[in-house]
């Protein structure tokens, strides 16, 4: 009785180089696929056509599906990032968001003015304290000058 096509295909075996040529890859790629378990050699350097061809097709289909999933995920992340960017631009336009560099510069100015004003307190109060012996009176003069400096700073609208 003649063998069926399935039986004939089951019997066909290829060397690494022949299978590489059939699948249009290098022999090194065949070895890598065998090492990762995708292709299964029958013996050293010999591969069954039927089982390995089916395995290779499944592997390629799986790679395509994975690529599609990766692509869809990348597109989804891009859409989210674009939406977030538009929200930030809208909030900036509304004046609800400002750049961090601007905040840093503004605070540096505030601290600079504060530092200058506080350092002037000692020069201003030193002559007033000369000769005073009352702690209460000294504290009152220092407190008055510090409060004046702080009030002055709080009244400053733009630096």
| Domain ranges (residues) in the chain | 5-67, 100-155
CATH topology classification for 5-67 = Arc Repressor Mutant, subunit A (1.10.10)
- How many CA atoms lie within 13 Å of 109's alpha carbon, on the beta-carbon side? 9
**Helices in 5-134 by DSSP H: which ranges?**
5-11, 16-23, 27-35, 49-93, 100-129
Q: Report pTM.
A: 0.42
Quote the crossing angle between the two packed helices 27-35 and 16-23, to the nearest 10°: 100
User: So what's the pLDDT on residue 159?
Assistant: 55
Check: CB of residue 10 under 8 Å from CB of residue 50: yes
User: So what's the pLDDT on residue 113?
Assistant: 87
pLDDT along the chain (159 residues), means of 10: 71 90 94 94 88 90 84 91 94 88 90 88 90 92 90 74
Q: Rounded distance, CA 39 to CA 45, Å?
A: 11
């Amino acid at each position: 009785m003649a063998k069926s096509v399935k039986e004939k295909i089951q019997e066909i075996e290829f060397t690494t180089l022949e299978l590489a040529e059939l699948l249009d890859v290098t022999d090194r790629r065949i070895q890598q696929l065998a090492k990762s378990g995708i292709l299964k050699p029958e013996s050293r350097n010999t591969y069954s056509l039927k089982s390995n061809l089916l395995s290779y097709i499944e592997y390629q289909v799986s790679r395509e599906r994975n690529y599609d999933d990766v692509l869809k995920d990348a597109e989804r992340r891009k859409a989210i990032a674009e939406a977030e960017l538009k929200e930030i631009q809208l909030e900036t336009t509304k004046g609800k968001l400002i750049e961090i560099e601007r905040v840093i510069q503004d605070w540096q100015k505030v601290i600079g003015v504060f530092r200058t004003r506080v350092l002037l307190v000692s020069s201003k109060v030193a002559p007033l304290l000369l000769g005073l012996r009352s702690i209460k009176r000294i504290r009152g003069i220092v407190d008055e000058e510090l409060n004046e400096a702080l009030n002055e700073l709080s009244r400053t609208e733009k630096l």
